[in-house]
């Protein structure tokens, strides 16, 4: 390719960012020792889909689209389900990074600034932290960000093709996570607040009419296809978010517990305020920590910067942020918990809103040759990237125990384990047919091997092991954590 200059050509910058994204995913996965527990579920679903079809996959979880994609890649390629999942998530991270870069360019309209924005995104710790996870969320994030990009372009240009592309990506996002329905339903309202279009009602109608047709077709398909209805039955659970009584039932139950068991009788009337404040506080805490220290410091340094920003860019992103906050608060109230992973779209909306200030600040210091501030920016971005590779708990000791067990046992022996990772790797990846998994109890001492992860071992299980005529045959440890492999004394060499 001639004159490859990512600072002068957006296409070249996108290619370079995609290559860097792939390299990051490969490197981070190389340092990963164990599949995340959600990933185990998706891989089991993919295996079930390959062997038994949609109905088998849906018996494990009732929203199987991501697992179906893994299964299809594995089925029609030479890749096993694990590698297929890694390839799929690496692909989605490329799509996500590219979408973020395009959205940034809509707000910046300068390729050098977009290049700086790409650097910030690629070094962003909270995103990179999930590169070694096998999760459907990455597909959800990627499709949602591309939907946002096309929605900004529609607000700017008014072309109906952009509205169609927004619908396409938003609907695809729903296939990964059902929460995308809220974005799909609420984002068109943003058109009301746009200053660029005279026929706002017509455009809102265009935004909703295809959705009504798709909803009608989907309803008919779900009604007549029992396997499809079972596979996507989670949509029935989603209905509670539109039903005040169902949504608030867990909240009222916890409110009564707090009123009767936690706070003094004189303050019982404040139990509801205390609970909802706590839930909102948890959501905001996860968003704040998810922004990462490095990015927050950069935001503080650039707070006085006054960039020229496309109005539609801010309008769409603020709407997107508010909708995601609504989803998070509703989920927190309905489920009584939240994790940073669920907050990623809200976090990305905030990052995208901050990007114009950050890029102008960084570019002005580069142009002004302020070496100290440029060094500080490089240091902060580097620390953010290095944090991704720093594993406080590698769990390598568990992987080593699994590898030893797989290499030193045959398919005829019976193995007991109290760890889901051990069970999955031996049964699915090493094709070991006789593996029994139970976290809490041991039914008898008839096993040839017992692979026991000592950390957080259940007391009942610990007592049962002591009653068996077993001896530690191998011991793998890392710090104060360990895996012990037991064998009956009669077979011990």
How far is it, in rounded angstroms, from Cα 447 to Cα 121?
50
Q: Residue 246 pLDDT > 70, yes or no?
A: no
How far is it, in rounded angstroms, from Cα 48 to Cα 59?
9
Task: Label residue 493 by pLDDT band (50, 70, 90).
Answer: very low
Q: Nearest 5°: phi and psi at 339? A: -135, 160
Average pLDDT over residues 382-386: 87
Place of tokens 């455009």: 203
For the residues of 317-358, what is the DSSP string, one character each?
HHHHHHHHHHHHHHHHHHHS---GGGGHHHHHHHHHHHHHHH
Mean pLDDT value across the chain: 85
Sign of the CA dihedral running 187, 188, 189, 190: positive
SS3 64: coil
Task: Label residue 56 by pLDDT band (50, 70, 90).
Answer: confident
In eight-state DSSP terms, residue 392 is S
Average pLDDT over residues 444-463: 87
Task: Label residue 124 by pLDDT band (50, 70, 90).
Answer: very high
pLDDT for 362: 93
pLDDT for 301: 92
Percent of the chain beyond pLDDT 90? 41
How far is it, in rounded angstroms, from Cα 82 to Cα 30?
13
Which one, of 141, 143, 145, 152, lies nearest residue 191 by Cα? 152
Average pLDDT over residues 279-300: 91
Q: Residue 9 pLDDT > 80, yes or no?
A: yes
pLDDT for 392: 45
How far is it, in rounded angstroms, from Cα 152 to Cα 108?
13
pLDDT for 411: 80
Percent of the chain beyond pLDDT 70? 85
Average pLDDT over residues 399-404: 90
Q: Residue 233 pLDDT > 70, yes or no?
A: no
Q: Residue 143 pLDDT > 50, yes or no?
A: yes
> Using alpha carbons only, what angle is made at residue 471 by residues 469 and 473, rounded to the nearest 5 degrees?
145
Asked if residues 344 and 290 have their Cβ atoms less than 8 Å apart, the reply is yes
Indicate the domain borders of the chain: 10-389, 396-491
Torsion of CA 166, 169, 170, 173, to 10 degrees: -170
Out of 3.40.190, 3.30.450, 3.40.1000, 3.40.50, select the CATH number for domain 396-491.
3.40.190
In order of 146, 150, 250, 406, the CA distances from 356 in angstroms are 19, 19, 41, 52
Average pLDDT over residues 126-141: 94
């Amino acid at each position: 390719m001639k004159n490859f200059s990512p600072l002068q050509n957006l296409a070249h910058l996108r290619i370079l960012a995609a290559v860097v994204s792939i390299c990051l995913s490969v490197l981070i996965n190389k340092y990963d020792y164990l599949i995340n527990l959600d990933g185990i579920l998706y891989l089991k679903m993919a295996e079930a889909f390959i062997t038994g079809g949609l109905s088998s996959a849906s018996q494990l979880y009732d929203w199987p689209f991501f697992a179906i994609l893994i299964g299809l890649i594995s089925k029609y390629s030479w890749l096993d389900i694990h590698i297929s999942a890694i390839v799929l998530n690496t692909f989605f991270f490329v799509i996500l990074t590219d979408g973020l870069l395009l959205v940034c360019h809509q707000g910046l309209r300068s390729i050098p600034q977009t290049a700086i924005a790409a650097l910030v995104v690629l070094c962003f710790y909270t995103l990179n932290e999930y590169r070694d996870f096998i999760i459907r969320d990455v597909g959800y994030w990627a499709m949602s960000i591309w939907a946002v990009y096309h929605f900004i372009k529609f607000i700017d240009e008014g072309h109906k093709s952009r509205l169609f592309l927004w619908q396409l990506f938003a609907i695809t996002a729903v296939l990964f996570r059902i929460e995308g329905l809220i974005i799909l339903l609420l984002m068109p309202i943003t058109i009301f607040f746009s200053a660029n279009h005279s026929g706002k009602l017509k455009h809102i109608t265009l935004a909703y009419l295809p959705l009504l047709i798709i909803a009608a077709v989907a309803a008919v398909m779900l009604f007549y296809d029992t396997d499809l209805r079972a596979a996507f039955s989670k949509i029935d659970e989603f209905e509670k978010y539109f039903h005040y009584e169902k949504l608030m039932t867990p909240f009222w139950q916890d409110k009564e517990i707090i009123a009767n068991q936690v706070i003094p009788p004189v303050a019982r009337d404040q139990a509801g305020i205390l609970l909802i404040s706590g839930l909102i506080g948890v959501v905001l805490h996860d968003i704040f920590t998810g922004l990462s220290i490095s990015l927050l410091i950069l935001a503080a340094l650039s707070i006085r910067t006054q960039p020229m920003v496309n109005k539609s860019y801010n309008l769409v992103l603020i709407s997107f942020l508010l909708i995601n906050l609504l989803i998070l608060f509703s989920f927190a109230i309905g489920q009584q918990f939240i994790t940073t992973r669920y907050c990623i779209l809200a976090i990305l909306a905030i990052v995208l809103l901050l990007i114009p200030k950050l890029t102008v600040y960084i570019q002005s210091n580069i142009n002004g040759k302020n070496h100290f501030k440029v060094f500080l920016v490089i240091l902060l971005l580097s620390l953010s990237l290095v944090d991704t590779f720093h594993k406080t708990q590698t769990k390598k000791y568990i992987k080593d125990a699994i590898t030893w067990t797989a290499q030193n046992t045959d398919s005829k022996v019976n193995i007991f384990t109290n760890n889901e990772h051990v069970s999955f790797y031996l049964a699915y990846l090493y094709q070991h047919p006789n593996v029994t998994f139970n976290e809490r109890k041991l039914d008898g001492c008839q096993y040839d091997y017992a692979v026991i992860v000592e950390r957080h071992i259940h007391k009942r299980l610990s007592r049962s092991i002591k009653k068996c005529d077993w001896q530690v045959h191998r011991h793998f440890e890392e710090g104060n954590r360990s895996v012990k492999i037991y064998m009956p004394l009669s077979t011990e060499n």
